[in-house]
C-alpha cells in the first residue's frame, strides 16, 4: 500500500492554564514513510516530546490537541475512542522514553514485563510468549537471555536496561516507534551502540522511527529526513543531507555549529546565544528573531511560513521576498 505511514497535518497542541490558552505546538505537519527514520530536533522546550505524545495518544491533561489531524496508514487516530487507541499503542505504535533507569517497573522481572506486553496484543499461549520474549531479548543483544528473563531491572546496567526498553517497545513489531531522546540519559560510550541497535532492528523489521533528540549528531548518524523545531513550530524540514550539510535556517545551522560528534565529543563550540522563549513570551514575527544573527526588519513584524526550496522546506525570510 503506497502513501505515508504517518501523516501529521497542521497539528496544534495547547494547554488551558489560568493565564490563558498556551499554544505549545503550532501548525506542525510532516509525513513519515514506512521504514523511514524521521528525526525531530530542537532545543529543550521546542515541543518535540508533545508532538510524539500526541501521536501515541498520551498527551497529559491539561495538554490537548486543539487543531490538526494525525493519520496512521490513512486512518485518523487523533480522535479514536480510548479503548481503540489503547489497542493501537504497543501494537502499531511503540514508544521509547529517555530514561531507561525509570522506564521499567522495579518490582517485576523483565521476563514478566515482556510476556505481559506480548500477551496483551498477541493471541498466544504463555509458553509461546515466553519463547518470543527470549528471542527478542537476544535480538537486542542481551547475553544469556533465557536466564536474564528472571532478573529484575535493577540487576541490569543503564545501557542494558535501554536494550530491554527497546525490546519492550518492539516486542509486538509495531509499524512505528517513537524514540524520545533514547540516548540522552546514557553514558556517551554507550549512546552510539544503542543508536546503532535501534537502526539495525528497525531496518530488519521495516519499522519506521520518529527519533526525537536535541542532538544533531544523533540525527546525522541515523536519520533519513529531519524536522527542526523551534518554539512549537517546524522551521526547517528536509533530508539529512539538506538539513545537516546545507542548513538554510539560521537556527538549524546554529544547531549544527553546536553539534557534538557522537564519536569524538568536543566542547560545544558555537552555542546559539540566548535561550528559547517561554510559551507565554513568544515574540511577534519570527520567534527566532531575537537570537538570529541575520534578522532584519521584516523578521520582527511577520511570521515566516514554510516554503519549498529545492525539495526542502524552510520558514525564514532570508528565502522569500525580503520586503
Partner 1 sequence: MTAFIIRRLLQSVFVMLVVALVAFLMFNYVGDPVNQMVGIDTSFAQREHLRQELGLNDPTLVQFARFVGHAVRGDFGLSYQHKRPVADLFKERLPATLELSLVAALFSLLVGIPMGVYTGLKPDGWLSRIFMAFSLVGVSLPTFLIGILLIFVFSVILGWLPSYGRGTVVAIGGWTTGLLTVSGLKALLMPAVTLGLFQLTLIMRLVRSEMLEVLRTDYIKFARARGLTDRAINFGHALKNTLVPVMTITGLQIGSIIAFAIITETVFQWPGMGLMFLQAIQNVDIPIMSAYLILVAFFFVVINLIVDILYYVVDPRLRVDTAKANGHA
Ligand X SMILES: Nc1ncnc2c1ncn2[C@@H]1O[C@H](COP(=O)(O)OP(=O)(O)O)[C@@H](O)[C@H]1O
- Chain positions contacting partner 1, by CB under 8 A: 56, 58, 86-91, 94-95, 97, 99, 102-109, 116-117, 120-121, 152, 154-155, 165, 168-169
Cβ atoms 20, 43 nearer than 8 A? no
Closer to partner 1 at the Cβ: 17 or 105? 105
217 binds, among Mg ion, ligand X, partner 1, none (CB under 5 to 8 A by kind): none
* Partner that binds at residue 102, options ligand X, Mg ion, partner 1, none, CB closer than 5 to 8 Å by kind: partner 1
Of residues 87 and 147, the one with the C-beta less far from partner 1: 87
Report the residue number, 63 or 257, with the smaller CB distance to partner 1: 63
Q: Which residues, 24 to 63, sit near Mg ion by CB under 5 A?
A: 49
- Contact between 183 and Mg ion per CB under 5 A: no
Kindly determine how many residues on this chain lie close enough to bind Mg ion according to the rule CB under 5 A.
Answer: 1
Neighbour order of strands in the sheet with 208-213:
93-96, 176-180, 208-213, 37-41, 225-230, 233-239, 312-314, 307-309
Q: For residue 180, what are the contacts with CB-CB under 8 A and spacing of at least 6?
A: 48, 49, 52, 95, 96, 97, 98, 212
Which of Mg ion, partner 1, ligand X, none sits in contact with 15, Cβ below 5 to 8 A by type? Answer: ligand X
- Report the interface residues with ligand X, using CB under 6 A: 15, 22, 24, 42, 44-50, 63, 279
Cβ at position 228, least distance to ligand X in Å: 11
Three cell numbers at 183? 540516548
Write down the least CB distance from residue 122 to partner 1, Å.
11
Closest CB to ligand X among residues 140, 235? 235
**Chain residue at closest Cβ approach to ligand X:** 49
Could you tell which of partner 1, ligand X, Mg ion, none binds residue 99, using a CB distance below 5 to 8 A set by kind?
partner 1
Give whichever of 118 and 179 is closer to Mg ion, judged by the CB atom: 179
CB 28 within 8 A of CB 10: yes
Rule CB under 5 A: which residues touch Mg ion? 49
Amino acid at each position: 500500500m503506497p502513501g505515508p505511514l504517518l501523516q501529521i497535518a497542521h497539528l496544534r497542541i495547547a494547554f488551558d492554564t489560568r493565564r490563558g490558552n498556551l499554544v505549545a505546538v503550532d501548525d506542525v505537519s510532516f509525513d513519515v514513510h514506512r521504514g523511514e527514520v524521521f528525526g525531530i530536533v530542537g532545543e529543550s522546550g521546542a515541543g518535540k516530546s508533545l508532538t510524539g505524545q500526541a501521536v501515541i495518544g498520551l498527551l497529559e491533561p491539561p495538554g490537548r490537541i486543539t487543531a490538526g489531524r494525525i493519520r496512521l496508514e490513512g486512518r485518523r487516530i487523533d480522535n479514536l475512542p480510548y479503548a481503540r487507541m489503547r489497542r493501537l499503542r504497543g501494537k502499531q505504535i511503540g514508544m521509547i522514553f529517555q530514561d531507561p533507569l525509570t522506564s521499567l517497573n522495579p518490582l517485576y522481572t523483565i521476563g514478566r514485563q515482556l510476556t505481559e506486553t506480548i500477551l496483551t496484543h498477541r493471541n498466544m499461549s504463555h509458553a509461546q510468549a515466553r519463547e518470543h520474549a527470549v528471542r527478542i531479548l537476544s535480538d537486542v543483544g542481551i547475553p544469556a537471555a533465557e536466564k536474564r528473563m528472571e532478573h529484575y531491572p535493577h540487576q541490569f546496567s543503564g545501557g542494558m536496561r535501554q536494550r530491554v526498553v527497546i525490546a519492550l517497545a518492539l516486542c509486538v513489531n509495531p509499524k512505528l516507534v517513537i524514540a524520545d531522546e533514547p540516548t540522552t540519559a546514557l553514558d556517551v560510550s554507550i549512546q552510539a551502540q544503542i543508536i546503532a541497535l535501534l537502526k539495525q532492528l528497525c531496518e530488519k523489521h521495516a519499522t519506521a522511527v520518529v527519533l526525537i533528540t536535541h542532538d544533531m549528531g544523533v540525527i546525522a548518524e541515523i536519520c533519513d529526513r529531519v524536522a527542526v523545531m523551534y518554539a512549537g513550530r517546524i522551521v526547517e524540514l528536509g533530508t539529512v543531507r539538506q538539513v545537516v550539510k546545507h542548513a538554510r535556517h539560521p537556527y538549524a545551522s546554529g544547531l549544527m555549529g553546536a553539534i557534538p560528534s557522537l564519536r569524538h565529543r568536543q566542547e560545544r563550540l558555537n552555542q546559539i546565544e540566548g535561550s528559547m522563549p517561554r510559551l507565554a513570551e513568544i515574540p511577534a514575527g519570527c520567534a527566532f528573531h531575537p537570537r538570529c544573527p541575520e534578522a532584519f526588519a521584516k523578521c520582527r513584524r511577520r511570521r515566516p511560513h514554510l516554503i519549498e526550496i529545492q525539495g526542502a522546506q524552510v520558514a525564514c525570510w532570508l528565502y522569500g521576498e525580503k520586503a
